[in-house]
Amino acid sequence: MALVPLLSLIYAGTVLHQVLVVSKLPLDGLYTWHPICTNLFIIFASLGIWSAQSIRGKAALSRSAKEPYVTRHGIFNWLALFSLVGAGATIYLNKERAGRPHLATYHGVAGASVAGFFVMNVFGGGAMNTVPSLYKYIKFHRLNGYILFLALLGAHGTAVWRGYAGFKTEPTGRYALVGLLGAMGLAVLSGVKLSLLPGGAAAKAKAN
């Protein structure tokens, strides 16, 4: 069940409706593209983790059966990475133009940290899928992916909770958005198989 991607679409759609329709931030404004890219990022990252968690049952019985899911996982993660680059570039350039300090908020620090580790995990996953001798580290790639996804939700939470340019909501709206982020986190955690993470059963190491 594609619950995580569905929740991400609801969340991102709500935020972008507020930014683009309610607050009417102009598309020719550099800053506007930061929330656009960050919300594309959360959608693609959700699709990526859903693709990985879909490798269960018959889909996990052979490499050929897993291949379409692995390919889909990689494509969505690369799309997430491109969105992340856009998000980082737009906020960096916007702050440079305005002469404002970088990494001056919890959101900025959280976002930059998630970005750095996400880039490493995507490249690491690509390397493991390309170089057979590196596949032995796949459980750490999975663990890092789960940790980073939860951290991504936290970074988004800091943005919608404190409010930012073009996005100011009443307390009820903030609670609803943070609730959606929390629901996404719980949905992802409910699909975790401990045997596929470091320390899990060796006999099931190839199940994902």
Beta-carbon count within 10 A of 8 CB: 27
Burial of 109 (0-12, 13-18, 19+ CB in 10 A): middle
- Using CA of residue 80, residue 191, residue 120, residue 101, what is the dihedral sign? positive
Domains and CATH numbers, the chain: 3-204 (1.20.120.1770)
Continuous segment of H or E residues that includes residue 36: helix 33-53
Beta-carbon count within 10 A of 100 CB: 10
What the block records as the tokens of 15 is 């935020």
How high does pLDDT run on average in the chain? 90
Structure confidence by residue, pLDDT tens digits, 104-133: 888 999 999 999 999 999 999 999 989 999
Structure confidence by residue, pLDDT tens digits, 62-100: 888 899 999 999 999 999 999 999 999 999 999 999 999
Residue 208's pLDDT is what? 47
C-alpha 138 chain-centroid distance: 19
What's the whole-model pTM score?
A: 0.90
Only one residue has tokens 């994902």, namely 208
Query: 33-53 and 171-190 helices cross at what angle (nearest 10)?
Result: 30
Q: What is the dihedral of CA 195, 201, 203, 207, to 10 degrees?
A: 10
C-beta separation of 208 from 55 below 8 A: yes
Residue 1's pLDDT is what? 56
How far apart are the C-alpha atoms of 88 and 107, rounded to whole Å?
A: 12
pLDDT at 138 over 50: yes
